Amino acid sequence: MGAADVWLGVLQATTLIAVLVLLYRPLGDYMARVYTGARDLRAERGIYRLIGVDPTSEQTWRAYARSVLAFSVVGLLLLYLLQRIQQVLPLSLGLPAVPEPLAFNTAASFVANTNWQSYSPEQTMGHLVQLAGLAVQNFTSAAVGIAVAIALVRGFARRGSATIGNFWVDLIRGLVRLLLPLAVLSALALILGGVAQNLSGFTDVHTVAGAAQSIPGGPVASQEAIKLLGTNGGGFYNANSAHPFENPAPWTNLLEILLILAIPFALPRTFGRIVGDHRQGYAIAAVMGTIFLVSLFALSALELGGGGTATQAAGAAMEGKEQRFGILGSTLFGTASTLTSTGAVNAMHDSFTPLGGMMPMINMMLGEVAPGGVGSGLYGMLILAVIAVFVGGLLVGRTPEYLGKRLGPREIKLASLYILVTPTLVLAGTALSFAIPPIRADVEKTSILNPGPHGLSEVLYAFTSAANNNGSAFAGLTANTPWLNTALGVAMLLGRFIPIVFVLALAGSLAQQQHVPETAGTLPTHRPQFVGLLIAVSVVVTALTYFPVLTLGPLAEGLVR
């Protein structure tokens, strides 16, 4: 790889950072106005009347949580039904009904904002299921994540309140005022860039080599826009954002990365504005940005350096990467997608160098908080901030307080339980896949393409992606089996909704408290020292939890030449 390619990659990253900085304030302030404004739009009032919701009434954290769960269960059932009756629906393209285990896995995946796909979308889903099922869940699951984050922010901002907002109002506002307008604009930009958008079926063509090929069309740009904006990740094609119909050129590649990061990186500004202290938002954004840049540099260095004799002899580790994006265009996309809950890929992570392939895994193991998924990244980082304040208080003998709220045993327990959910799901799912003899035999015979440490990495990556609601895959694992469809589907649902319940419980506990005035013993949470402490807590919690299993997979493979 030449110096010109390296400088082009640096220019892409610099341009991305500059645009994100420019968007931080206006987009963050706009989102704050969306969720704090007193007036409802006419369209919103019509929806409230239709679903029987009083927008002026507020909910306790328990009622808010019940609404989130009820809405998500209905979405799960409807998406499952659409897949099971696909063969009788319009625009089915002659495709049969999706089998039961796969339909459950897919429904769980899209409702949980994971968008894991253990199938080839263009060969499995008709246009109506893609539009009315998958794309709709891309909108609603993203709106749910933002609503939960805003509820937690209200918990910090309110004083002596028994309520944390109204889920239905937060949901509808997020859809009508934020996601729909941005998705329309983004889809138009992608269409201008050459992304497909039609309702055509399969077109038979002859390749240059003389072979016959059937190429499907479809409403790609509209789904691509919200898959990225909502940090969902489900591709219209099996190759995802490596497919030229989804991502035709280097500039569309950069645009897609921008769409992934725009809302998550602007949400700290929303947080700072709602709590009345922009410095707090800058501190959270600084933590997210620092982790992002370190991860990007590490992955790029590992891929540029190659990982073995073959890649070094070839001059670059280009296996599984698109020539039009190059190594740095692929590492930038991979870092953005795995540090958020997007899961979209423009290169096959299974073909990364062994240590390079470990970086996307670590990104997800961090809890996807830099900047994380829409909503989930912010509330995940705020949970880590609570832990960091508690640790800081222990170190210097100060009472743990964050944003004027005391962090007592209840708050710390809720934060700790939140932290423990996904590691438990990841490690338990991986262990069960190898500990139960019949399941292990099936996994080793049917699912794993490459045995040995890389095979363990494939399974570990799958459960890491599922439990953290990412959705990307190593691409070397055959996951469309009864065990993996079921186990990964359960991991996705539990990894999404158990943490949400803990977040809402924490929001309710904080909202009930009165504001505690700052004293000489209050730990400042807007200074560089706290930013460093929060980064350390984020990394140490991950390292202590996952390091042993990483030594058996990607580290074992990468350190043995």
pLDDT, one tens digit per residue, over 453-482 is: 888 999 999 999 999 999 998 877 899 999
Going by their DSSP bridges, the two strands 212-216 and 405-406 should be labelled as unpaired
| Predicted TM-score (pTM) of this structure | 0.95
Question: pLDDT tens for residues 518-532?
Answer: 877 788 899 999 999
- pLDDT tens for 235-268 read 889 889 999 999 999 999 999 999 999 999 999 9
Local confidence band at 449 (pLDDT 50, 70, 90 cut-offs) = confident
Taking residue 464's Cβ as centre, other Cβ atoms within 10 Å add up to 31
> Which one-letter DSSP state was computed for residue 514?
P
Residue with tokens 């959270």: 284
What letter represents residue 374's amino acid? V
Beta bridge partners of 401: 406
Amino acid at 231: T
Query: Residue holding tokens 């540090």?
Result: 339
- Cβ within 8 Å of residue 482, ≥6 positions away: 101
pLDDT above 90 covers a percentage of the chain that reads 75
User: 216: helix, coil or strand?
Assistant: strand
pLDDT in tens, 30-85: 999 999 999 999 999 999 999 999 999 999 999 999 999 999 999 999 999 999 99
Percentage of the chain lying above the pLDDT 70 cut:
98
Rg (CA), the chain: 23
- Express each pLDDT in 160-216 by its tens digit: 999 999 999 999 999 999 999 999 999 999 999 999 999 888 888 887 888 888 888
CA 192 to chain centre: 26
Q: At what angle do helices 453-467 and 528-552 cross, to 10 degrees?
A: 140
Query: Residues 330-372: pLDDT tens digits?
Result: 999 999 999 999 989 999 888 888 889 899 999 999 988 999 9
**What confidence score (pLDDT) does residue 438 get?**
95
Q: Which of 259, 309, 553 is nearest to 434 (CA)?
A: 553
pLDDT tens column, 434-447: 999 999 999 999 99
Residues 6+ apart with CB under 8 A from 228: 186, 256, 259, 260, 342, 344
In terms of Cα–Cα distance, which of 468, 480, 483 is closest to 426? 468
Three-state SS at 125: coil
What is the pLDDT at residue 309?
58
The Cα 103–Cα 485 span in angstroms is 9
Say whether pLDDT at 307 is over 70.
no
Question: What pLDDT was estimated at residue 311?
Answer: 65
Residue 557, pLDDT above cutoff 90: no
The CA distances from residue 447 to 10, 122, 275, in Å, are 38, 21, 48
Condensed to tens digits (0 to 9), the pLDDT of residues 81-114 reads 999 999 999 999 999 999 999 999 999 999 999 9
pLDDT at 138 over 80: yes
- Which pLDDT does position 476 carry in this prediction? 78
- The string over 530-550, giving b where at least 16 C-beta atoms fall within 10 Å of a residue's C-beta and e elsewhere, is bbebbbebbeebbeebbeebb
Q: Partners of 9 in the beta sheet? A: none
Confidence check: pLDDT of 399 > 80: no
DSSP conformation class of 475 = S
In angstroms, rounded to a whole number, what is the distance separating the alpha carbons of residues 229 and 215? 26
- Position 141 scores a pLDDT of 97
Residue 238 burial class via C-beta count within 10 angstroms: exposed 0-12, middle 13-18, buried 19 and up: middle
Distance between the two ends of the chain, CA-based, in angstroms?
22
Query: How many Cβ atoms are within 10 Å of 517's Cβ, its own excluded?
Result: 8
Q: Which helix (H) or strand (E) holds 343?
A: none
Whether residue 561 has pLDDT greater than 60: no
Taking residues 17-35, report their average pLDDT.
Answer: 98
Q: Which residue has the higher pLDDT, 561 or 119?
A: 119
Integer angstrom CA distances of residue 234 from 112, 131, 212, 544: 12, 12, 27, 31
CA distance 561 to 557: 8
Per DSSP bridges, beta strands 405-406 and 202-206 are unpaired
Mean pLDDT of the chain: 92
Q: What are phi and psi of 214, to 5 degrees?
A: -110, 115
Contacts of 330 (CB under 8 A, 6+ apart): 303, 321, 322, 346, 347
Question: For residue 432, what are the contacts with CB-CB under 8 A and spacing of at least 6?
Answer: 439, 487
Residue 387, amino acid: I
Q: Are 195 and 214 in contact (CB under 8 A)?
A: no
Residue 16: the pLDDT is: 96
Q: What is the pLDDT of residues 223-237, one digit of tens each?
A: 999 999 999 988 889
- CA 126/CA 449 separation, integer angstroms: 29
